[in-house]
Amino acid sequence: MLCILFTSCKQDENTNKQLQKNNINQEETEAIIDTWLTLWKTYDLNLLDDIFITSEELTYFSSEKKGLIQGFSKMKPHHEAFGFTDGGKTPEKSLWLENITTNIYGETAMVGAIWYFGDKAISKDSVQQGPVTFVLKRNPNNQVRIVHTHFANY
């Protein structure tokens, strides 16, 4: 009876370790957001695969287009329409985040922030801005990726 109890406890311990292994950590979350910011600094369409889940599971609410963009295959052309290209280019305006908050819920994470888009040299009240939310999870290759984005305007 003691052996059965021991085996059961060992199995629970291994299960807990496996679950913790799949948990997202702060460093992974920050790395994805940093890469997303690099995307906006370079307009390099090739970075999308390193940031977003590349399946139809991806959901994206744009601040510039009504409705839900469902799937990577539809989100990528959305970025192309804004001038993102393979290899990138120097954008005319900057996009940056402030007031970033991160909440990690085991295998998922939520990042919220205020986005600003425009000339960083002028008053923040004079550029486009609003809240943004990102939901992150692991893809089938165990890499953390954005699975949902929601931009809004003030």
DSSP class of residue 47 equals G
* Residue 76, token pair as written in the block: 């990528």
Query: pLDDT tens across 11-42, in order?
Result: 556 555 555 678 999 999 999 999 999 999 99
DSSP class of residue 92 equals S
All structural domains of the chain, each given as residue ranges with its CATH number in brackets, are 23-151 (3.10.450.50)
Phi-psi region of 126 (alpha: psi -120 to 50; beta: other; left: phi over 0): alpha
pLDDT at position 91 is 93
Whether the pLDDT of residue 89 is over 70: the answer is yes
pTM metric for this prediction: 0.86
